[in-house]
Chains A and B, each alone.
Chain A
């Protein structure tokens, strides 16, 4: 409901820098961009004005156990309370559907060109000067939700925090006052640390991107030993 308006605003904007990069996945173009290629060849100078993020979350949706431990951890580390709605990584599932289409993990892609940053009228949504992570300065947020609607992905990776009245998004755990570890692109990420299936990982390289997001295969032979598929598509029994 909340980000329905977003589609309209994207359509009105016409062809823009936003579609040039971040839109390739979310709008269904299906392009695949490699890190070196993107950084070295394609990026025009004006885009480079916003530094690339120093890190990205990768998920293996076929290894995910749907336990939402990542969500509980995210909410707790950032806010000191439990609320799946306030998690910046979202696991969405349908109990009755067939594997692997029964589940998606919706995490922020730290877009090379961040529409959310572009949309913010106050500079609250910004790239962290040291790590490049796209994040919210809560003090500057005026609650206009342009960032929420600007995110080209569905569901929006930028959320309205209704309890604290500001926008929020994944900051790679840069600002986690309720976690005793050092977070951020140069530190640890709580969801990566806590996932009991080791289905989330972190990379410094700009990942290959497809329509379904930043996917990776984190399943090794031990996973196959348990009778789970280890092929990329998750279609074959192991062995």
Chain B
């Protein structure tokens, strides 16, 4: 039986009046799932889209995709969250963040394609979903617990059977409601969220966080401590045999063979190499492991990129949060610092810049008796003691933590440092107050995507190829495994864009018309295939096969994404049709930002991006003097006028007004979003 991969209904919970309702999924199927469905729900359910993120009317959507809970590799386990954010500066844009683990699968098995939460409870509560039974529970006793304690407490409350004695747990009262050995999947806030930090995240299991945007603070503002779900139902698959066969073929051709790899790191215990080979446990990208561990993955993953360790410290935590204390002198303390964040429910990306605070201290600006008064133990900077004091002050809003809880950008603004330090690059926050992630002057699909959107995009699909491949090979003394020219050709072919110049990161290439097409493709691709169908950012797309057994380095994308989707849904969607849905979702988001106050004049980077040359080497493909090469890109700045010209061409390409960046009626109607055009027009914000 084909159900399109959906289980049919979306849960609506209003915490103000306690309403628990069902929304038919079918109404929103045109948006695919995940982000697209979330944005469509947001449009319908939030009357005034200009409210602050803390406002009770703010809507949190936690959405699955048709692929959630299925065998589709690295597409089963992500939950996409949409909401008005707290952290972006100067305006908390409507934003997104997703997290891995098994929440999405459990939600589907419970019979829900997603959750939409609105309103504000007067007292602390948590939402308990057990199949179709949904209750709002008192969270008074959970308030104050850290994220790990909260989950263990809820596991015990919901299914003490499977936590205590290892037997099957019956969900519901009769045997026909099903039994499970799985623990409920819980997403919860810690102290940071309870204290309404703008940089608070939600956490699920040990290391799955939705962090950017400040979702934890939004949970806290609703007095919502956690959402728990356990399910025993089924997800129908249109063509099971085709799905199994496609996964087997995909894994055989493109996965890292753990017993006999085609390509292996030249040095042992070097997980970073997995950014090329897709080997398991590669999450600790920076960090050779010092104690025994296993790889650990989200439900349905074929890579299993994280680890669980014999210390139990920093379990499942090997993405950016594990780099919080990167300047620590040893791995043990670094892992401890990671758990500090997880337990507090604090988003690493906003608190990453402790070296900035240390610099202010060394400059004589921040410290006891200094211009910015602080009693943080800067003399212990570089030790775990400092990190403990630092995290403690942020989550308890003490010392400079009272400012930092509002986010680093707002704190710097309050201290009178924002303009000067983002002009010099001492505080390297290029877009919307978010921490610099990849080099904004060079790797422009990252920076352009971020400034044209709402946050640091955090989309690694191309980044592992164009940035990491040559750098990692070089770090261990190897030449690139593929030439720059072959790489861009494979990407151009795989994306469907066709012109390899779209992936030219040279001084000329980053402003060219092919770059407009490449950036446009990236926005549409990620909005649909990645954020709405929930293909994992660390696994997809697959344009280059470094595990090839026969020398053919062509990747799995786009053939396999399409095969997987159609096997699950019974539909016959094409890659291009998916991209067009992505265009629709991206434009719907742009309409929301427009109502929030977005104008092209705001879509500019911090001054350092334009004025301070790059100092650290990159390894991006560049077309220079008629030849492709991997180039360090040292000394690069972005040119203001050229970027403004790029924006004009980009807006035109998207069908947006080039003077304002606002979507036009013609474009919206062509995307079947005429109702969006009406609302923009009534607010005087329709693009001309």
- Answer whether A and B touch in the complex at a CB cut-off of 8 Å: yes
Q: How far is the CB of B141 from chain A (nearest CB, A)?
A: 19
A147 to B70, CA, bound (A): 29
Q: Taking CB as reference atom, which chain A residue is nearest B279?
A: A226
In the complex, the answer to whether A65 meets B295 with C-beta atoms within 8 Å is yes
Q: Does A83 contact B (CB under 8 A)?
A: yes
List of A residues within 8 angstroms of B288 by Cβ:
227
Residue-by-residue, is B198-217 near A (CB-CB < 8 Å gives 1, otherwise 0)?
00000001110000000000
**Among candidates B71, B255, B312, residue contacting A72 with C-beta atoms closer than 8 Å:** B71
In the complex, the answer to whether B293 meets A194 with C-beta atoms within 8 Å is no
In the complex, the answer to whether B292 meets A76 with C-beta atoms within 8 Å is no
**Among candidates A66, A159, A198, residue contacting B294 with C-beta atoms closer than 8 Å:** A66
Q: Given the known inter-chain contacts A65-B301, A163-B178, A228-B281, please indicate yes or no for A196 contacting B237, CB distance below 8 A.
A: no
Q: Does B76 contact A (CB under 8 A)?
A: yes
Q: How far is the CB of B98 from chain A (nearest CB, A)?
A: 18
Q: Does A62 contact B (CB under 8 A)?
A: yes
Residue-by-residue, is A144-171 near B (CB-CB < 8 Å gives 1, otherwise 0)?
0100000000111001101101000000
| B interface secondary structure, majority | loop
**Among candidates A66, A90, A155, A159, residue contacting B296 with C-beta atoms closer than 8 Å:** A66
List of A residues within 8 angstroms of B205 by Cβ:
95
Residue-by-residue, is B293-319 near A (CB-CB < 8 Å gives 1, otherwise 0)?
111111111111001111110011000
Q: Given the known inter-chain contacts A69-B300, A83-B233, please indicate yes or no for A98 contacting B105, CB distance below 8 A.
A: no
Chain A interface category by residue count: 35 or more
List of A residues within 8 angstroms of B71 by Cβ:
69, 72-73, 76, 82, 194
Q: Given the known inter-chain contacts A106-B181, A179-B241, A180-B244, please indicate yes or no for A155 contacting B167, CB distance below 8 A.
A: yes
In the complex, the answer to whether B247 meets A194 with C-beta atoms within 8 Å is yes
In the complex, the answer to whether B179 meets A95 with C-beta atoms within 8 Å is no
Q: Does A79 contact B (CB under 8 A)?
A: yes
In the complex, the answer to whether A99 meets B237 with C-beta atoms within 8 Å is no
Residue-by-residue, is A194-214 near B (CB-CB < 8 Å gives 1, otherwise 0)?
101110000000000000000
List of A residues within 8 angstroms of B296 by Cβ:
65-66
Q: Does B258 contact A (CB under 8 A)?
A: yes
List of B residues within 8 angstroms of A223 by Cβ:
258-259
Q: Given the known inter-chain contacts A77-B244, A178-B244, please indicate yes or no for A85 contacting B179, CB distance below 8 A.
A: yes
Q: Taking CB as reference atom, which chain B residue is nearest A153?
A: B166
A228 to B269, CA, bound (A): 8
Q: Given the known inter-chain contacts A67-B302, A85-B180, A163-B234, please indicate yes or no for A3 contacting B168, CB distance below 8 A.
A: yes
Q: How far is the CB of A192 from chain B (nearest CB, A)?
A: 11
In the complex, the answer to whether A154 meets B166 with C-beta atoms within 8 Å is yes
In the complex, the answer to whether B297 meets A102 with C-beta atoms within 8 Å is no
Q: Taking CB as reference atom, which chain B residue is nearest A148?
A: B168
Q: Does A239 contact B (CB under 8 A)?
A: yes
A24 to B121, CA, bound (A): 54
Which residue of B241, B307, B309 has the most chain A CB atoms within 10 A of its CB atom? B241
List of A residues within 8 angstroms of B168 by Cβ:
1-3, 155-156, 159
In the complex, the answer to whether B258 meets A162 with C-beta atoms within 8 Å is no
Which A25-50 residues have C-beta < 8 A from chain B?
none
Q: Does B248 contact A (CB under 8 A)?
A: yes
Chain B interface category by residue count: 35 or more
Residue-by-residue, is A75-88 near B (CB-CB < 8 Å gives 1, otherwise 0)?
11101111111100
List of A residues within 8 angstroms of B626 by Cβ:
none
Q: How far is the CB of A212 from chain B (nearest CB, A)?
A: 12
Which B148-197 residues have C-beta < 8 A from chain A?
148, 151-152, 161-162, 165-170, 175-183
Q: Does A222 contact B (CB under 8 A)?
A: yes
Which A98-155 residues have C-beta < 8 A from chain B?
98-100, 102-103, 106, 145, 154-155
A191 to B260, CA, bound (A): 19
In the complex, the answer to whether B244 meets A154 with C-beta atoms within 8 Å is no
In the complex, the answer to whether A226 meets B300 with C-beta atoms within 8 Å is no
List of B residues within 8 angstroms of A69 by Cβ:
71, 73, 300-302
A218 to B260, CA, bound (A): 12
In the complex, the answer to whether A68 meets B258 with C-beta atoms within 8 Å is no
List of A residues within 8 angstroms of B261 by Cβ:
222
Q: Does B344 contact A (CB under 8 A)?
A: no
In the complex, the answer to whether A67 meets B237 with C-beta atoms within 8 Å is no
Q: Does B251 contact A (CB under 8 A)?
A: yes
Q: Does B587 contact A (CB under 8 A)?
A: no
Q: Does B268 contact A (CB under 8 A)?
A: yes
Which residue of A63, A227, A235, A238 has the most chain B CB atoms within 10 A of its CB atom? A227
Q: Does B482 contact A (CB under 8 A)?
A: no
| A interface secondary structure, majority | loop
List of A residues within 8 angstroms of B264 by Cβ:
222, 225
Q: Taking CB as reference atom, which chain A residue is nearest B305?
A: A65
A145 to B76, CA, bound (A): 32
**Among candidates B102, B151, B259, B310, residue contacting A222 with C-beta atoms closer than 8 Å:** B259
In the complex, the answer to whether B271 meets A178 with C-beta atoms within 8 Å is no
A145 to B174, CA, bound (A): 14
Q: How far is the CB of B626 from chain A (nearest CB, A)?
A: 41
Which B315-342 residues have C-beta < 8 A from chain A?
315-316
Q: Does B346 contact A (CB under 8 A)?
A: no
Q: Does A237 contact B (CB under 8 A)?
A: yes
**Among candidates B108, B259, B265, B312, residue contacting A96 with C-beta atoms closer than 8 Å:** B312
Q: Does A186 contact B (CB under 8 A)?
A: no
Q: Taking CB as reference atom, which chain A residue is nearest B74?
A: A67
In the complex, the answer to whether A76 meets B243 with C-beta atoms within 8 Å is yes
In the complex, the answer to whether B166 meets A103 with C-beta atoms within 8 Å is no
Q: How far is the CB of B613 from chain A (nearest CB, A)?
A: 37
Q: Does B599 contact A (CB under 8 A)?
A: no
In the complex, the answer to whether B241 meets A178 with C-beta atoms within 8 Å is yes
In the complex, the answer to whether B178 meets A1 with C-beta atoms within 8 Å is no
A4 to B69, CA, bound (A): 29
Which B588-638 residues have C-beta < 8 A from chain A?
none
A169 to B60, CA, bound (A): 40
Which B236-253 residues have C-beta < 8 A from chain A?
236-237, 240-241, 243-245, 247-248, 251
Q: Given the known inter-chain contacts A180-B244, A222-B260, please indicate yes or no for A82 contacting B292, CB distance below 8 A.
A: no
Which residue of B180, B270, B281, B295 has the most chain A CB atoms within 10 A of its CB atom? B295
A165 to B177, CA, bound (A): 11
Which B109-123 residues have C-beta < 8 A from chain A?
109
Q: How far is the CB of B488 from chain A (nearest CB, A)?
A: 29
Q: Taking CB as reference atom, which chain B residue is nearest A68?
A: B299
List of B residues within 8 angstroms of A163 by Cβ:
178, 233-234
A209 to B577, CA, bound (A): 53
A198 to B207, CA, bound (A): 24
Q: Given the known inter-chain contacts A84-B109, A190-B244, please indicate yes or no for A1 contacting B169, CB distance below 8 A.
A: yes
A81 to B261, CA, bound (A): 32
List of B residues within 8 angstroms of A97 by Cβ:
308, 312
Q: Does A23 contact B (CB under 8 A)?
A: no
In the complex, the answer to whether B251 meets A85 with C-beta atoms within 8 Å is no
Q: Does B235 contact A (CB under 8 A)?
A: yes
In the complex, the answer to whether B309 meets A99 with C-beta atoms within 8 Å is yes
List of A residues within 8 angstroms of B274 by Cβ:
226
Q: Given the known inter-chain contacts A65-B301, A76-B237, A163-B178, please indicate yes or no for A83 contacting B232, CB distance below 8 A.
A: yes
Q: Which residues of B contact A (CB under 8 A)?
A: 69-71, 73, 76, 102, 105, 108-109, 148, 151-152, 161-162, 165-170, 175-183, 205-207, 232-237, 240-241, 243-245, 247-248, 251, 255, 257-261, 264-265, 268-271, 274, 279-281, 288-304, 307-312, 315-316
Residue pairs across A and B with Cβ atoms less than 8 A apart, 16 shown, are: A63-B258, A65-B280, A84-B180, A96-B206, A97-B308, A99-B292, A99-B293, A99-B310, A100-B292, A154-B165, A194-B71, A194-B244, A196-B303, A222-B261, A223-B259, A226-B281
Q: Which residues of A contact B (CB under 8 A)?
A: 1-4, 62-69, 72-73, 75-77, 79-86, 90, 92, 94-100, 102-103, 106, 145, 154-156, 159-160, 162-163, 165, 178-180, 190, 193-194, 196-198, 218, 220, 222-229, 234-239
Given contacts A2-B175, A69-B302, A96-B148, 13 further A-B contacts (CB under 8 A): A4-B165, A65-B280, A76-B71, A81-B235, A92-B181, A96-B151, A196-B251, A196-B255, A225-B269, A226-B268, A228-B294, A229-B293, A238-B269
By Cβ-Cβ distance, the 3 closest A-B pairs, closest first, are: A65-B304, A227-B269, A178-B240
